[in-house]
Amino acid sequence: MYAQLVETGAQRVRGTDELEGQERVFQERIDAGVKIEPKDWMPEGYRKTLVRQISQHAHSEIVGQLPEGNWITRAPTLKRKAILLAKVQDEAGHGLYLYSAAETLGVSRDALIAQLHAGKAKYSSIFNYPTLTWADIGAIGWLVDGSAIINQIPLCRCSYGPYARAMVRVCKEESFHQRQGYDLLLALCNGTPEQKAMAQDALNRWWWPALMMFGPSDADSVNSAQSTQWGIKLFSNDALRQKMVDQTVPQAEYLGLTIPDPDLKWNEERGHYDFGAIDWDEFFNVIKGNGPCNRERLATRVQAYEDGEWFREGLNAHADKQAARGAAAA
């Protein structure tokens, strides 16, 4: 049984032995690795946590199209353009599977989107940074999708069936995304000195925000203890962040790029890289809505939604007509 008195600096939850009635039966199922399905009984907190996390995840996929979509018309070759188009379309698909997974918990997609547009819902901090050069598209694939894979592979085994199943396909696609980003940077790093400098500049700007994607340190994570007990989180924020650093440093070396962290050093004893302090003020400032692009991102999403009104109306009118025909024929 892995879920005993789970505790972080910010949260302490009751272990299975301290629970009673339905809550205990539910926790025992989780401890035994049984998947929870939409019609099963679940504590209200479990449902709310999943709606929060899955909807934030869905919003991240949708808003996450913007920084890269910005470069589709400026991709340097037809091949790169086709790859980028496919990637951005994949992100839209991920958003749709995830909204569908959230809907199995009794909340509508419209309600979740309304929360996003009202500025009440979070989405990943990373998408509030600008994409200034073509190399940023490589850095996003390599570092952002790379971090996303590390965070999301364990989610394929999380306790909630619809979320776990949605993540399987998402992870397969993220793997292609990470690869295309690395390939793009490899081409730049093997190119002219100016192209290599552009790749280094992108790494300098994306490295720290990519590490922040994993969320606050374990000591400050308010949701980790409970999410771990419920089998939603299988590894802590800090453990996944460490994995990302350990995995990425040799990849940077292969590119011939320098990670912008003077404190980065292999620690023989720990068997991991030590790395410098993260600027948590910057992170909390971004998630409060004050990052470089928060306002622009939200305004773009709201505008896109309003521009699509005629299309939704058309679809609904068609659906109503079909339903009326069906009723008349019955």
Does 151 sit near ligand BYC (CB under 6 A)? yes
* Residue 215 near ligand BYC by CB under 6 A: yes
With contact defined as beta carbons under 8 Å apart, do 106 and 47 qualify? yes
By beta-carbon proximity to ligand BYC, the closer residue of 122 and 179 is: 122
- To ligand BYC, the closest distance from the beta carbon of 148 in angstroms equals 3
Which of these segments, 74-82, 212-220, 291-299, 317-325, binds ligand BYC (CB under 6 A)?
212-220
CA distances to 48, 129, 170, 244, 257 from 164, in Å: 17, 29, 10, 21, 35
CB 125 within 8 A of CB 287: yes
Question: β-strands 272-274, 11-12: how paired?
Answer: unpaired
272-274 vs 265-267, strand pairing mode: antiparallel
Between 125 and 200, whose beta carbon lies closer to ligand BYC? 125
Q: What track of x and - describes contact with ligand BYC for positions 252 through 291 (by CB under 6 A)?
A: -----------------------------------x----
**DSSP per position, 17-33:** GG--HHHHHHHHHHHTT
Site size with ligand BYC, rule: CB under 6 A:
28
103 binds ligand BYC (CB under 6 A): no
Of 91 and 136, which has the nearer Cβ to ligand BYC? 91
Residue closest to 179 by CA, chosen among 149, 154, 157: 149
- If binding is defined by CB under 6 A, does position 298 make contact with ligand BYC? no
Q: Which of 210, 215, 236, 231 is nearest to 49 (CA)?
A: 231
Q: How many CB atoms lie within 10 A of CB 75?
A: 17
Looking at 57-65, 101-109, 271-279, 293-301, which segment touches ligand BYC (CB under 6 A)?
Answer: 57-65
Question: Which residues contact ligand BYC by CB under 6 A?
Answer: 52-53, 56-57, 60-61, 64, 91, 122, 124-125, 144-145, 148, 151, 212-216, 221-224, 227, 233, 237, 287
